[in-house]
Amino acid sequence: KAGVTQTPRYLIKTRGQQVTLSCSPISGHRSVSWYQQTPGQGLQFLFEYFSETQRNKGNFPGRFSGRQFSNSRSEMNVSTLELGDSALYLCASSFDREASPLHFGNGTRLTVT
Amino acid sequence: GQQVMQIPQYQHVQEGEDFTTYCNSSTTLSNIQWYKQRPGGHPVFLIQLVKSGEVKKQKRLTFQFGEAKKNSSLHITATQTTDVGTYFCAGRTGSARQLTFGSGTQLTVLP
């Protein structure tokens, strides 16, 4: 069974630009969550999607958005990038929203210059 | 909102010594999960605890869920260099359902 696939693996962007990250969950998983990981802040929850609907949103500004498609693939978008957005963005999929473990992708390393 | 605190933030041990990380939540959890992230890698699921007072073992790892379902611990007996990494707890409340991660404990094992 293929794991969670995130593309691209690395991105370098300039302040003010926007970026779109992609996540393909494990086949059969309907829940996709996004996390931002930085050395000082650990894993910060961005949002969770289930059956194409955003179910939960973390405490991030509106520049961070996402969506989920009918095939459960998900994208997240960050507009008007700031230096502080440099981080590892992790996507995780799970079978359901109740008690299933999260399966993480390798992440997208975003650097904003 | 729900907060999950984890201590210590860092732990250096000599190979063969024991290690424990503690997780505390501000609210009652419906379940708690533990993950391990190796340097340069992504978090990998270790185990889930659901019942009050539950104890589960995986070889040298022992996981506990508190009676009040607000705290949990992970204990590693006789650490090995393969145990190096950051250990995260993650708790889920019944209402929000989102998984909130603790800040993690970074374990270094000195040979």
Contacts of B78 (CB under 8 A, 6+ apart): B16, B17, B18, B60
Please report residues of B whose CB lies closer than 8 A to that of A87.
none
Predicted confidence at residue B35, as pLDDT, reads 98
Q: Can you name the residues that pair with B95 across neighbouring β-strands?
A: none
Residue in chain B closest to A90 (alpha carbons) equals B42
Residue A17 contacts B, CB cutoff 8 Å: no
Neighbours of B16 (CB within 10 A): 12
Contact (CB<8Å) B99/A45:
yes
pLDDT digits (tens, 9 = 90+) for B46-73: 999 999 999 999 999 999 999 999 999 9
Contacts of B95 (CB under 8 A, 6+ apart): none
Q: What is the DSSP string of B17-84?
A: --EEEEEEESS--SEEEEEEE-TTS--EEEEEE-STT-EEEETTEEEEE-TTSSEEEEEESS--GGG-
Task: Count each helix (H run) and each strand (E run) in chain B, helices first.
Answer: 0, 11
Residue type, B88: F
Neighbours of A33 (CB within 10 A): 27
Contact (CB<8Å) A102/B102:
no
Which of A6, A43, A44 would best serve as a mutation to test chain B binding (most B beta carbons within 10 A)? A43
Q: Is the pLDDT of residue B97 over 80?
A: no
Summary mean pLDDT of chain B: 94
Q: Give the integer Cα–Cα distance in Å for B35 and B45.
A: 4
Q: What is the mean pLDDT of residues A24-49?
A: 92
Residue B1 contacts A, CB cutoff 8 Å: yes
Residue B106 contacts A, CB cutoff 8 Å: no
Return the structure tokens found at A46.
């961005």
Q: Is the pLDDT of residue A1 over 90?
A: no
- Of the partner residues B97, B99, B102, the one whose CB lies closest to the CB of residue A102: B99
pLDDT digits (tens, 9 = 90+) for B18-41: 999 999 998 899 999 999 999 999
